[in-house]
Amino acid sequence: MIKIGIVGARGLSVVQAIKAMPDEAKITAMCDLDEGALQHAKDQIGDPDLKLYRIYDDMLEKADIDAVVVSTPMQLHVTQSIAALQAGKHVMCEVTAAVSMDELWWLIEAVEKSGKIYMYAENYCYMPEVQLVRQLVKKGFFGEIYYGEGEYTHDCTSLRTWHGKTGWRSYWQMGTRGSFYPTHSLGPVMQCFDDDRIVSIASFSPGNHNPFGLRNDDLTQTMCQLESGKLVKIRVDTISPRPHAMAYYQIQGTKGCYESQRLGGGPMIALDEDGKPREGCYTWKPLFDYKEYLPERYKSGKGDAAGHGGGDYYIVKDFIEAIKTGVQPELNVYKAAEWTSVALLSQLSVTNNGRLLEVPNFRAGMSWAEKKIKI
């Protein structure tokens, strides 16, 4: 039984997932500065023995926990992850992993030194639609993938204040330049490129026209060049006045393509299934006509009560499995660093007229000399 402590009321997103695996994991502690949020969490978790803490160090020192879910504002993610690792706890951390490149180096070094599991909680990678597309990619339905797109358009301007005060998002998200929150867009697309990695990025924006005095660009388009030469484009837009479309993706291969629909109608694919290249237009088909290719565990229904189409269940499941086996998960600290670095380098690129910047090759055993930004 893995005993879990949650820091940050946002972590309630994993409650239903953990409840659905009562023989494997249990939430035994909860920490938040807000007493009202703590009581709400206790009501949601429904365990009278749940230990509540307002001071994070107290939870790490006193609570009976094996692992911590870090669900606080993003500027706290690295310091709280490192504190948990140094206390001998495994960590699953919400996105983004860090707010500076130096923090990424600190985090990698702390994970390597601790020997504990670190998992990046990029739950969009676990949504059923994304998992189905990934399986179709692996089975060759799209041929060779050479281009991908991801978009996160989510008007967050109402979140710039909290209880009448300026909130943290006004500074650490909408107070920064560039693609500050890229991994919901990037992660599901990058998983379609197997072990390929991002080697360089360039970010562009149309400027700043919002009426709220926020520093963030109206939107940011970031081009990512992969080591293979293939291309990924991502859009992050949290200010434009438009309906939410937080999980838009497109994949293009030599035998067809996939596109999740922005305006309803469901995700679609178009394939050259007879092996004969066509001239002219292909025909769209519903993605879930191919639902038999979903990973078997998604057919069990076990994750149905959890959020993101069950994705929250399976990400927790993989975290628990990693702890049990001692093997770092696919969404490890190096993936977290690569995908988060796109945000951090984007700030430099967009403020320097779309300058092309090199992405470090995040991996185990990096030398001191490699841990830098090349201009």
Write down the pLDDT at residue 278: 67
Q: pLDDT of 256-307, one tens digit each?
A: 999 997 777 789 999 987 666 666 678 899 999 999 999 999 988 777 778 7
Confidence of residue 97 (pLDDT cuts 50, 70, 90): very high
Supply the angle between the helices 101-114 and 77-86 in degrees, to the nearest 10.
Answer: 20
Helix (H/G/I), strand (E/B), else coil: 100: coil
CATH number of 2-124: 3.40.50.720
- Give the integer Cα–Cα distance in Å for 29 and 16: 15
- The single-letter DSSP state of residue 360 is P
Write down the pLDDT at residue 51: 95
Of 339 and 303, the structure prediction assigns the larger pLDDT to 339
Supply the angle between the helices 101-114 and 333-350 in degrees, to the nearest 10.
Answer: 170
Write down the pLDDT at residue 275: 65
Domain positions in the chain are 2-124, 125-325
- Give the integer Cα–Cα distance in Å for 67 and 102: 24
- Give the integer Cα–Cα distance in Å for 120 and 333: 7
Contacts of 36 (CB under 8 A, 6+ apart): none
What mean pLDDT is reported for the chain? 93
For the purposes of burial, counting CB atoms within 10 Å of the CB of 205, is it exposed (0-12), middle (13-18) or buried (19 or more)?
buried
Token pair, residue 279, equals 């001239």
Q: Please report which residue ranges of 46-124 form alpha helices under DSSP H.
A: 56-62, 77-86, 101-114
2-124 and 125-325 share one CATH topology? Answer: no
Q: Does domain 125-325 have CATH number 3.40.1360.10?
A: no
- Give the integer Cα–Cα distance in Å for 233 and 235: 7
- Give the integer Cα–Cα distance in Å for 218 and 206: 7
Question: Does 70 score more than 70 pLDDT?
Answer: yes
Token pair, residue 24, equals 């494997």
Instruction: Tell me the residue ranges of DSSP E strands in 141-219.
Output: 145-153, 161-162, 165-166, 198-204
| Predicted TM-score (pTM) of this structure | 0.95
Q: pLDDT of 183-233, one tens digit each?
A: 999 999 999 999 899 999 999 999 999 999 999 999 999 999 999 999 999
User: For 58-62, 162-166, 319-323, 324-328, which range has the lowest pLDDT when averaged over its residues?
Assistant: 162-166
Write down the pLDDT at residue 310: 80
